[in-house]
């Protein structure tokens, strides 16, 4: 088969896959969640299997423990966090109005004169923006709830996801071996190398960054709750879950927490400083311990490319696309780097006959910046 036919075949297969996912997106969430759960827990199953536990028994133990922990969190934490989030969204206009009033009372005169001379109605604009944001957030929460009820029943998600995860986790090694047997024999080693790079990128996000987000969510929620901040648990979990985009989680969560703290604690400056200290400690923990140990440089995604992927995939596939955006972007980055490597050694770039890639000159040209 010629290169043109191979290219056409794989492009056609990719287009068909995208069309299938797009047409079935309303029912895929439990299956995607089951796959992610199995992929996340596969190293644990391998370790238990190496200790002598049969694969099926290791799978049962792991999933039973995971289900118990999820149920415990759902009963003890989720209702409180959701209640705090709803109250926070409802109080957002009042919060910004109070912040604007505090600014008029406490800000230096020069700063107030600067705002006044700019012709900006700070209080009016902040209140207007906060009202719009509150309506937008309320619409998102309502659409997620009603859409989840209309498209994927929560009960089916809770039932189907563990079943899918159980079968995938139990047969993971057999599935990998079967897929490997389907690879084209002429390019099997090359495809395996690309697959290993994709696996490294996916593992860096799903296992590494996912664990970082969970730890930061618990840390921020516990810290803000101990400080006594209203809606501290909801703000902390939201900041942790948004931490898969560098700096975004800490920035949004920090600004929101500080704003709530200024309204709640002022003029007690020490309490506000404690709120700031929680986020500074979280960033120190993430930058110096969690990310280097759990993620490293395996994802290889620039923050701008990551944010674009989130917007693009969520626009096309909705909530499912939001979940798949970063893993698919990481996998796409692997293919782009591979294509760039091939291009740099093709006659289109060198002007001579195609040469084989070497380990000497490639990294200097293609790994200087992340894609």
8-30: pLDDT as tens digits: 777 887 788 778 877 777 777 78
pLDDT value, residue 221: 92
- HEC string for 123-151: HHHHHHHHHHHHHHHHHHHHHHHHHHHHH
What one-character DSSP code corresponds to residue 352?
Answer: S
Average pLDDT, the chain: 77
Q: How far apart are CA 41 and CA 169, in angstroms?
A: 8
Report the alpha-carbon distance of residue 204 to residue 292 in Å, rounded. Answer: 11
Which of 293, 309, 303, 281 is CA-nearest to residue 211? Answer: 293
Q: Please give the pLDDT value at position 278.
A: 93
Model pLDDT for residues 315-365, shown as the tens digit of each residue? 777 666 777 777 778 788 888 888 888 888 877 777 765 555 544 444 444
pLDDT at 223 over 90: yes
pLDDT in tens, 231-266: 889 899 989 988 877 677 888 888 888 888 888 887
How is residue 38 written in tokens? 């199995």
Instruction: For residues 150 and 48, give the distance between their C-alpha atoms in angstroms, rounded to a whole number.
Output: 39
Is 348:53 a contact under the CB 8 Å cutoff?
no
Position 148 scores a pLDDT of 45
For residue 149, what pLDDT is reported? 47
pTM over 0.75: no
Domain ranges of the chain: 10-182
For residue 80, pLDDT beyond 80? yes
- Tens digits of residue pLDDT in 271-301: 889 999 999 999 899 888 887 777 765 566 6
């Amino acid at each position: 088969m010629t290169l043109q036919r191979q290219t056409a075949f794989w492009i056609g297969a990719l287009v068909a896959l995208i069309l299938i996912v797009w047409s079935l997106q309303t029912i895929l969430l439990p299956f995607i969640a089951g796959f992610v759960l199995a992929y996340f827990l596969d190293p644990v199953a391998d370790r238990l299997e190496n200790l002598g536990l049969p694969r099926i028994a290791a799978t049962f133990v792991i999933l039973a423990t995971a289900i118990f922990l999820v149920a415990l969190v759902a009963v003890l934490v989720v209702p409180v966090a959701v209640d705090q989030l709803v109250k926070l969204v409802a109080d957002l206009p009042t919060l910004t109005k109070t912040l604007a009033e505090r600014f008029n009372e406490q800000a230096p005169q020069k700063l107030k004169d600067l705002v006044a001379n700019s012709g900006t109605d700070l209080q009016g604009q902040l209140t207007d923006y906060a009202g719009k944001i509150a309506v937008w957030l309320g619409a998102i929460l309502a659409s997620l709830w009603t859409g989840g009820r209309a498209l994927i029943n929560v009960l089916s998600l809770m039932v189907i996801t563990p079943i899918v995860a159980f079968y995938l986790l139990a047969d993971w090694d057999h599935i990998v071996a079967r897929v490997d047997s389907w690879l084209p024999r002429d390019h099997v080693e090359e495809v395996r190398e690309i697959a290993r790079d994709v696996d490294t990128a996916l593992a860096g996000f799903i296992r590494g960054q996912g664990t970082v987000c969970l730890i930061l969510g618990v840390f921020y929620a516990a810290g803000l709750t101990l400080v006594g901040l209203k809606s501290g648990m909801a703000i902390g979990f939201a900041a942790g879950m948004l931490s898969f985009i560098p700096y975004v989680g800490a920035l949004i969560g920090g600004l929101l927490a500080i704003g709530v703290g200024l309204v709640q604690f002022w003029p007690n400056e020490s309490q506000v400083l404690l709120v700031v200290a929680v986020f500074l400690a979280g960033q120190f923990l993430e930058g110096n311990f969690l990310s280097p140990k759990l993620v490293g440089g395996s994802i290889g995604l620039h923050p701008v490319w990551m944010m674009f992927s989130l917007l693009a995939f969520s626009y096309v596939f909705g909530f499912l696309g939001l979940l798949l955006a970063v893993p698919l972007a990481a996998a796409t980055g692997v293919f782009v780097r591979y294509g760039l490597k091939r291009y740099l050694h093709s006659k289109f770039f060198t002007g001579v006959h195609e040469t084989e890639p070497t380990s000497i000159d490639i990294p200097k040209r293609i790994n200087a910046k992340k894609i």
